[in-house]
Amino acid sequence: MARGADPPRDEPRREGPVRRTLRVAILGVTLIFVVAALAISCSLVVYTAYRHDLQNGVFALLLAVLSAQIAINWFLWKDDEE
């Protein structure tokens, strides 16, 4: 251990009201982006299916799967923070 390094603390960190408010704001903004990505990708899948556009349908389906993965990761990140 370096001379100036503090030993690890086992006590839990206390969150102040400003930190808690900032955390909620960040979670809210990221949730808006996640929901927007899911909505856009799902609507793109529906649109390409409606148009019978198989060439771009694969891209739309891949985008929807990636957006769903992002949503799952967001929920796991939110639970990990708590």
Structure tokens belonging to residue 82: 């708590």
In tens, the pLDDT along 3-37 reads: 666 666 655 566 788 888 998 898 899 889 989 98
Task: Label residue 29 exposed, middle or buried (CB < 10 Å: 0-12, 13-18, 19+).
Answer: exposed
Q: What is the pLDDT of residue 25?
A: 92
Q: What is the C-alpha to C-alpha distance for residues 63 and 71, in angstroms, rounded to an integer?
A: 12
Structure tokens belonging to residue 24: 């909620």
Is the Cβ–Cβ distance between 38 and 71 less than 8 Å? yes
Q: Is 52 left (phi over 0), alpha (psi -120 to 50) or beta?
A: left
In tens, the pLDDT along 50-68 reads: 888 888 788 888 888 888 8
